Structure 1
Amino acid sequence: MSEVLDAIDARILDIIQHDAGLSVAEIADRVGLSSSPCWRRIKRLEESGVILRRVTILDRERLGLGFEVYCTVKLSLPTRDNLDAFESAIGKLAEVVQCATVTGAADYELRIVTRDMHAFDDFLREKILSLGLVSNIESRIVIRSVKNTTAAPLALISPYVTSQG
């Protein structure tokens, strides 16, 4: 890690990764700083790339997007061109909320969110299989999510962090 974090930086990161909607004054109060130095630290963390972006997490169930599937994908021929083509196509598909290259027999692990089983079937047929690059897909439907967080485990890099939740 090229960015050196002190205990206050770590606390700021922990606070904002759990609630990015807090004002600088609220964050500053929680870490024991005034607003200006807190704002400067946040700006430094953004400029250095430690903070990539701030987002709002939506309740997919309430939006009618509660069908979640993990798919292991094997390409027919995993050449550099095919890997690049697949990754480029996947990057444009809204249903794919995560994509990772993986070790083992498969090439990719996808996390897909859709409305229901029928929308997932349409997605596979019309968007993934139509690419002509895939030889095998194994799908696992999520029954219940036990843990789902976007928070980085900061306690692993800083003993000064106390998790907010």
Structure 2
Amino acid sequence: MIDLDDTDRAILRALVEDASQSASALGRRFGLSQPATWRRIRRMEEAGVFRGRRVEIDHERLGFGVTVFLGVKLATKGRVSLEDFERAVSAIPEVQTVQHVLGVYDYRLRVIARDLSDFERVLRRRIMTLPGLGQVDANVLLSEELLPGPLG
């Protein structure tokens, strides 16, 4: 675990809001030089506080208006390996995340589709044919708010 001071946390919150900000812009905002800001960012990155910077895609603007979370329970864990299931589900382009979870389900999937009929096509033709698939439970996303979490 890395020790973060108030300035580190402020820089981290600013990067969560907009990861494209330069070290010089962040430095001006927080009263630091560009090199000092860059050293702080680099130290946090090297410590694994964050891993790289990502582009957040607006799937709706690309025509994918439906997001569905699937709870997947495998039929029999011994008959198909988890790796086989993970490999097969990861090959489906509409599946955005695959999470191996503990609880009622074995996996939680985030699936995007153009609309509900497109989701039905993905479900019937791709997901329901996965090796070892047992029970599937679907929850359609109505709205989502991304929060930075407890950054202090």
Q: Could you state the TM-score of these two structures normalised by the residue count of structure 2?
A: 0.87
Q: Structure 2 vs 1, CA of residues 124 and 4 (structure 1 numbering), >3 Å: closer, same or farther?
A: same
What is the alpha-carbon distance in structure 2 between the residues aligned to residue 42 and residue 19 of structure 1?
Answer: 14
Q: Give the structure 1 partner of residue 114 of structure 2.
A: 115
Q: Could you state the TM-score of these two structures normalised by the residue count of structure 1?
A: 0.81
Q: Give the structure 2 partner of residue 71 of structure 1.
A: 70
Letter in 2 for 1:100: Q
The size of the alignment, in residue pairs, is 152
- Structure 1 segment 37-48 matched on structure 2, within 5 A: 37-48=36-47
SS at match of 2:128: helix
Q: Gaps (5+ residues) in structure 2? A: none
1 or 2 for the larger relative contact order (CA 8 Å, sep ≥6)?
A: 1
What is the alpha-carbon distance in structure 2 between the residues aligned to residue 127 and residue 5 of structure 1?
Answer: 45
Q: Give the structure 2 partner of residue 159 of structure 1.
A: none
Identity %: 36
Q: Structure 2 vs 1, CA of residues 132 and 88 (structure 1 numbering), >3 Å: closer, same or farther?
A: closer
Q: Structure 2 vs 1, CA of residues 83 and 118 (structure 1 numbering), >3 Å: closer, same or farther?
A: same
Q: CA deviation digits over 1:89-121, x for unaligned, max 9?
A: 333333222332333322112121111122212
Letter in 1 for 2:22: S
In 1, are the aligned partners of 2:80 and 2:131 still within 8 Å (CA)? no
* Offset of residue 71 of structure 1: 0.9
Q: Give the structure 2 partner of residue 163 of structure 1.
A: none
Match of 1:148 among 117, 130, 145: 145
Is 2:111 the partner of 1:91? no
In 1, are the aligned partners of 2:15 and 2:21 still within 8 Å (CA)? yes
* Larger deviation, residues 75-84 vs 126-135: 75-84
Letter in 2 for 1:23: S
What is the alpha-carbon distance in structure 2 between the residues aligned to residue 82 and residue 106 of structure 1?
Answer: 16
Q: Structure 2 vs 1, CA of residues 23 and 109 (structure 1 numbering), >3 Å: closer, same or farther?
A: same
Q: Gaps (5+ residues) in structure 1? A: 156-165
What is the alpha-carbon distance in structure 1 between the residues aligned to residue 9 and residue 117 of structure 2?
Answer: 44
Q: Structure 2 vs 1, CA of residues 81 and 36 (structure 1 numbering), >3 Å: closer, same or farther?
A: farther
Letter in 2 for 1:62: R
Q: Give the structure 1 partner of residue 18 of structure 2.
A: 19
Q: Give the structure 1 partner of residue 127 of structure 2.
A: 128
